[in-house]
Amino acid sequence: MKQLLLFLSFLLLSITSMAEQNKMPQLWKKANDYYLQKQYDSAISYYHSLLQQNPANPSLYYNLGNAYYRKNMVTEAVINYERALFFNPQYKEAQENNLLAKSRIPNAIKPIKDIFFVRWWQTLTSGHWANTWAVLGILLFLALASLIFYGILKNRLRQIAPQVFVLLPIIILIALFIAYKAAYNKNNCHLAVVNSKNAVLNNVKSTSVPEATTVLVTKREGNGFLVTLPDNRTGWMRQSDLTFVQISTKK
Amino acid sequence: MKQILILCFFFLLSQNSSFAQNVVFSAQASATTIGIEDRVQVDFTLENIEGIQGIQNPNFPGFKVLGGPYESRSSNLYLNGNQPVRSTSLTLSYVLQATQIGDITIPPLSAKDGNGKVYQSNALKIKVVKGSLAQQRRQQQQSADPFAGFDPFDDPFFGGNGGGGDPFAAMRQQMQQLQQQMQQQMQQSMGPAQNLPQVTEKELGKNVFIKVSVDKTKVHIGEQITATYKMYARVNMQAQLSKLPSLNGFWTQDFELPKDQKPQYETLDGVQYQSFTLKKSALFPQQTGTLILDAAEANGVAQIADRSNPYGKNVQFKLKSAPVNITVTPLPIKDQPTDFSGAVGSNFMVKTKIDKTSLSTDDAATLTIDISGVGNIKLIGAPKLNLPNGLDAFDPVITDTITGRSTTISGHKIFSFAISPSIAGDYEIPAIPFSYYDPAKGSYTTLYTTALKLHVTQGTKVKKEIAGNKLLSDLNNIDTKPLLLQPSNGTLLYSKAYWSIYALTFIALLLFAWRKKQKESEANNQGLFKNKYANKIALKRLKTAKTFLDKKETIPFYEEISKAIWLYLSDKLNIPLSQLSKETALESLRSKQITEAQLSKMYLIIEDCAMALYAPSGAAQQMNSTYNDTVQLIGELEENLKK
**What is the predicted ipTM?**
0.76
**B233-257: pLDDT as tens digits:** 877 777 777 777 777 788 887 777 7
Decide if A134 and B505 are in contact by the 8 Å CB cutoff. no
Name the residue facing B472 among A35, A56, A99 (closest C-beta). Answer: A99
Instruction: Find chain B residues with C-beta within 8 A of A100's C-beta.
Output: 465, 472, 474-475
**A126-135: pLDDT as tens digits:** 888 888 899 9
* Residue B48 predicted with pLDDT over 70: yes
Decide if A186 and B491 are in contact by the 8 Å CB cutoff. yes
B494/chain A closest Cα distance in angstroms = 8
Burial class (CB in 10 A: 0-12, 13-18, 19+), B401: exposed
**B528-566: pLDDT as tens digits:** 776 677 777 778 888 888 888 888 777 888 888 888 888
pLDDT band at B150 (very low <50, low <70, confident <90, very high): very low
The answer to whether the predicted template modeling score (pTM) of the entire model surpasses 0.80 is: no
**B390-412: pLDDT as tens digits:** 777 777 788 888 777 677 788 88
User: Maximum Cα–Cα distance for chain B, whole Å?
Assistant: 190
* Residue A45 predicted with pLDDT over 80: yes
Chain A residue with minimum CA distance to B422: A103
SS3 string, B259-300, reads CCCCCEEEEECCEEEEEEEEEEEEEEECCCEEEEECCCEEEE
pLDDT band at B83 (very low <50, low <70, confident <90, very high): low
Q: What's the pLDDT score for residue B5?
A: 42
Decide if B475 and A70 are in contact by the 8 Å CB cutoff. yes
CA distance readout (Å), B442 to B60, B233, B333, B381, B439: 73, 40, 12, 20, 5
Instruction: Find chain B residues with C-beta within 8 A of A99's C-beta.
Output: 464-465, 467, 472
Q: What's the pLDDT score for residue B33?
A: 80
Higher pLDDT, A164 or A3: A164
Task: Assess B497–A contact: CB distance below 8 Å, yes or no.
Answer: no
Q: What's the pLDDT score for residue B189?
A: 40
Decide if A63 and B479 are in contact by the 8 Å CB cutoff. yes
CB pairs A-B closer than 8 Å: 110
pLDDT band at B144 (very low <50, low <70, confident <90, very high): very low
pLDDT band at A64 (very low <50, low <70, confident <90, very high): very high
Q: What's the pLDDT score for residue B614?
A: 77
B509/chain A closest Cα distance in angstroms = 7
Decide if A66 and B491 are in contact by the 8 Å CB cutoff. no
* Residue A239 predicted with pLDDT over 90: no
Higher pLDDT, B206 or A30: A30
- Considering chain B, what percentage of its residues have pLDDT values greater than 90? 2
Q: Which range (A4-13, A83-92, A141-150, B634-643) has the least confidence?
A: A4-13
A1/chain B closest Cα distance in angstroms = 30
Decide if B467 and A66 are in contact by the 8 Å CB cutoff. no
Chain B residue with minimum CA distance to A99: B465
Name the residue facing A99 among B465, B480, B489 (closest C-beta). Answer: B465
Instruction: Find chain A residues with C-beta within 8 A of B478's C-beta.
Output: 32, 35-36, 62-63, 66-67
The partner residues of B456 in beta bridges, in order of sequence, read: B359, B425
Decide if B493 and A134 are in contact by the 8 Å CB cutoff. yes
Decide if B475 and A110 are in contact by the 8 Å CB cutoff. no
Instruction: Find chain A residues with C-beta within 8 A of B469's C-beta.
Output: none
Chain A residue with minimum CA distance to B507: A145
Q: What's the pLDDT score for residue A14?
A: 56
Higher pLDDT, B371 or B61: B371
Task: Assess B2–A contact: CB distance below 8 Å, yes or no.
Answer: no
Task: Assess B499–A contact: CB distance below 8 Å, yes or no.
Answer: no
Q: What's the pLDDT score for residue B77?
A: 64
Task: Assess B617–A contact: CB distance below 8 Å, yes or no.
Answer: no
Q: What's the pLDDT score for residue B105?
A: 82
Q: Which range (A86-100, B305-319, B332-346, B433-447) has the least confidence?
A: B305-319
* Residue B139 predicted with pLDDT over 60: no
**B415-441: pLDDT as tens digits:** 888 888 877 778 888 888 888 888 888
Q: Which range (B18-32, B98-112, B264-278, B506-520) has the least confidence?
A: B18-32
Q: What's the pLDDT score for residue B194?
A: 41
Q: How far apart are CA B436 and CA B344, in angstroms?
A: 5
Decide if B488 and A63 are in contact by the 8 Å CB cutoff. no
Instruction: Find chain A residues with C-beta within 8 A of B506's C-beta.
Output: 145
Q: What's the pLDDT score for residue B488?
A: 56
Instruction: Find chain B residues with C-beta within 8 A of A136's C-beta.
Output: none
What backbone torsions phi and psi does residue B532 show, to the nearest 5 degrees? -65, -40
Instruction: Find chain B residues with C-beta within 8 A of A251's C-beta.
Output: 488
Name the residue facing B505 among A145, A152, A180 (closest C-beta). Answer: A145
Q: What is the mean pLDDT of residues B176-184?
A: 47
Q: What is the mean pLDDT of residues B569-576?
A: 78
A38/chain B closest Cα distance in angstroms = 12
Q: What's the pLDDT score for residue A170?
A: 94
Q: How does strand B218-220 pair with strand B271-285?
A: unpaired
Chain B residue with minimum CA distance to A67: B478
Sign of CA dihedral A178, A181, A187, A191: negative
The DSSP string of B434-471 is EEEEETTTTEEEEEEPPPEEEEEE--SSPPTTEETTEE
Mean pLDDT of chain B: 74
Estimate to the nearest angstrom the gap between the alpha carbon of A44 and the chain centroid: 21
Q: What is the mean pLDDT of residues B450-465?
A: 70
Decide if B478 and A32 are in contact by the 8 Å CB cutoff. yes
Tell which of B478, B505, B510, B512 to mutate to test the A interface (max A CBs under 10 Å).
B478
Chain B residue with minimum CA distance to A154: B516
User: Alpha helix (H) ranges present in chain A?
Assistant: 2-36, 40-53, 58-70, 74-87, 92-102, 116-124, 130-153, 162-187
Q: What's the pLDDT score for residue A6?
A: 57
Sign of CA dihedral B577, B578, B579, B581: positive
Q: How far apart are CA B94 and CA B524, in angstroms?
A: 115
The DSSP string of A162-205 is HHHHHHHHHHHHHHHHHHHHHHHHHH---EEEE--TT-EEESSS
Task: Count the Cβ atoms, other than its own, within 10 Å of residue A105.
Answer: 17
* Residue B149 predicted with pLDDT over 60: no
Residues 390-419 of B with CB under 8 A from A: 392, 394-395
Q: What's the pLDDT score for residue B93?
A: 82
Chain A residue with minimum CA distance to B469: A96
**B190-209: pLDDT as tens digits:** 433 344 455 566 667 777 88
The partner residues of A73 in beta bridges, in order of sequence, read: none
Q: Which range (A82-86, B309-313, B624-628) has the least confidence?
A: B309-313
pLDDT band at B487 (very low <50, low <70, confident <90, very high): low
Q: What's the pLDDT score for residue A19?
A: 57
* Residue B160 predicted with pLDDT over 70: no
Mean pLDDT of chain A: 84
Name the residue facing B516 among A69, A133, A152 (closest C-beta). Answer: A152
Instruction: Find chain A residues with C-beta within 8 A of B505's C-beta.
Output: 141-142, 145
| Amino acid (one-letter) located at B369 | I
Q: What's the pLDDT score for residue A175?
A: 93
* Residue A173 predicted with pLDDT over 90: yes
A222/chain B closest Cα distance in angstroms = 30
* Residue A192 predicted with pLDDT over 70: yes
Q: How far apart are CA B366 and CA B358, in angstroms?
A: 12
* Residue B182 predicted with pLDDT over 50: no
**B592-619: pLDDT as tens digits:** 777 788 888 888 888 878 877 777 665 6
Decide if A66 and B477 are in contact by the 8 Å CB cutoff. yes
* Residue B73 predicted with pLDDT over 80: no
Name the residue facing B502 among A36, A97, A138 (closest C-beta). Answer: A138
Q: What's the pLDDT score for residue A44?
A: 92
CA distance readout (Å), B593 to A234, B159, B530, B571: 80, 120, 20, 17
Q: What's the pLDDT score for residue B299?
A: 81
Q: What is the mean pLDDT of residues A176-196?
A: 89
B522/chain A closest Cα distance in angstroms = 16
Q: What is the mean pLDDT of residues B258-264?
A: 69
The DSSP string of B201-238 is STTHHHHEEEEEEES-SEEETT--EEEEEEEEESSEEE
B483/chain A closest Cα distance in angstroms = 6
Task: Assess B524–A contact: CB distance below 8 Å, yes or no.
Answer: no
